Amino acid sequence: MSSMAIFVFGLVSSIHCLAMCGGIFAASQARRSRVLYYNAGRLVSYAAAGAAAGALGSLASVSDGLRALVAIVGGLLVAAIGFTMLGLFPALRRLSPTLPKSVLGQILRSAGNDSGNSGGFIAGLLTALLPCAPLQTMLLVAVARGSAWKGAVAMLAFIAGTLPALIGAGAAYSKLAGNARLSRLVTKTAAVLVIAMGAAMAFRGLVLTGLPARAASLFSFDAQIARELPRDASIAQVDGNAQRVDTRIEAMAFHPIVVQRGLPVAWTISARAVDLNEHSSTLSIPDLGIKMRLKAGDTLIEFTPPDRSGELEYCSWCAMISSRVYVVDDLSKVRADIGNRMARSEKDAAR
């Protein structure tokens, strides 16, 4: 899950936060300065929690399997938040633990304390202890980041997304509370967005397991691949008992390749320094156990595809970017089918 996606999730899930904790947020806004202190406390506590979660993830090797598990579980939790916002499946509310009344009371007392701004700051610090499903989901994402720094950045992106709604929480909370129709519309819209984000997150987890490609391979064969092959695909060249293929990656795009089954592949990937970022700089082929750090210029990846036709998924470390390796029985047949298809298209265009 990219920092931008986390920010957007914070933006839409803040509606959930207003509904569940609007009273606390409104109480913290007795003075404008307290708003700043309250949100400063949230920034500190969330960043610290993200750093701790990321550090925990760094203690173990964060494998594709763990990232897949985090993405799938996190995606399902995010979708569950959306369903509860719609009032569906009430049993899902049990996924959130109950906060001890003593802690909740301390937050409310700190938020409403008129003696100074320190109360607002303390209330903000304590919000990291709230039984918040979006917060719990983001902590899972921070664990998968595999470092304290990246975990903190993930949580900061999340809290940044919540700020627009929560800075104006007093007005927003009273506006929603006083207009049932507007409240339902806003909540339902946000819920649909949250469910969509959860589904996308869970699907990226499935991509890391290679399941979508394996499912698609059940229906794949050489003629179908030739018929449906994207125009940006690169087809390998067979040279004796091996084959080679060249591709170029872009900042947010990987391109498919076509290789022949059972023959060793020398795959040269070209990349410009400007196109390498936190997502595109690492390439993984989960089914083959390959993970490679890409560099500016050319990177060579060598592997032998399975001795059967089908599809393999290849993706960035978090599956934000993905594409396919199409494994065929006979490259010459695929080339011939593509040539025939192009000839028919040119003939039809000439009519």
Range of the domain at 226: 212-350
Is the CB of residue 238 less than 8 Å from the CB of residue 265?
A: no
Residues 137 and 163 both lie in one domain: yes
- Continuous H helices in the chain: 3-27, 32-58, 64-85, 101-112, 118-126, 133-145, 148-167, 169-178, 180-209, 211-217, 222-228, 331-350
- Indicate the length of the chain as a whole number: 351
* Collapsed DSSP state (helix, strand, coil) of residue 287: helix
- Residue 321 φ then ψ, to 5°: -120, 135
pLDDT at 222: 47
Return per-residue pLDDT of the chain as tens, 351 residues: 677 878 888 877 776 666 555 555 555 555 555 677 777 888 888 889 888 888 887 765 556 676 777 778 878 877 887 787 777 776 666 655 555 555 555 555 554 554 555 666 777 777 777 667 777 778 878 887 778 888 888 888 888 887 776 666 555 555 555 666 766 776 677 778 778 877 887 887 787 776 766 665 555 444 456 556 777 889 999 988 999 999 999 988 899 999 999 999 999 999 999 999 888 888 999 888 898 999 999 999 999 998 888 888 898 877 788 898 989 888 888 887 777 666 666 666 666
The pLDDT of residue 342:
64
Residues 229 and 320 in one domain: yes
Q: Which residues touch 116 (CB under 8 Å, ≥6 apart)?
A: none
The pair of three-digit structure tokens given for residue 7, joined into one six-digit string: 């920010």
Same domain, 226 and 188: no
Q: Residue 128's CB: how many other CB atoms inside 10 A?
A: 19
Residue finishing a domain among 157, 175, 209: 209
What does the pLDDT read at residue 251?
Answer: 85
190 and 263 assigned to the same domain: no
Considering the domain architecture, whether residues 293 and 344 belong to the same structural domain is answered as yes
CATH number at 305 reads 2.60.40.420
Single out the residue in 163, 191, 209 at which a domain terminates: 209
User: Is 162:11 a contact under the CB 8 Å cutoff?
Assistant: yes
User: At 109, is the secondary structure helix, strand, or coil?
Assistant: helix
Contact 176, 68 (CB under 8 A): no
Tell me the two tokens of residue 165.
């709604």
Q: Specify whether 129 is located in the same domain as 150.
A: yes
Domain boundary residue, one of 157, 180, 209: 209
pTM (predicted TM-score): 0.57
Please tell me whether residues 166 and 294 are part of one structural domain: no
Say whether both 189 and 200 belong to one domain.
yes
Among residues 49, 77, 82, 73, the alpha carbon closest in space to that of 154 is found at 49
Structurally, the chain folds into a number of domains equal to 2
Dist. CA 229–CA 145, nearest whole Å: 34
d(CA 294, CA 48): 31
Report the pLDDT value the prediction gives residue 106, as an integer from 0 to 100: 52
Provide the pLDDT for residue 266: 95
State the number of CA atoms in the 13 A half-sphere of 106 facing the CB: 13
Same domain, 228 and 346: yes
- Shared domain for 121 and 26, answered yes or no, is yes
User: Are 100 and 235 found together in one domain?
Assistant: no
What is the structure's pLDDT at 257? 92
| Shared-domain flag, residues 82 and 128 | yes
Nearest CA among 201, 49, 13, 203 for reference residue 125: 49
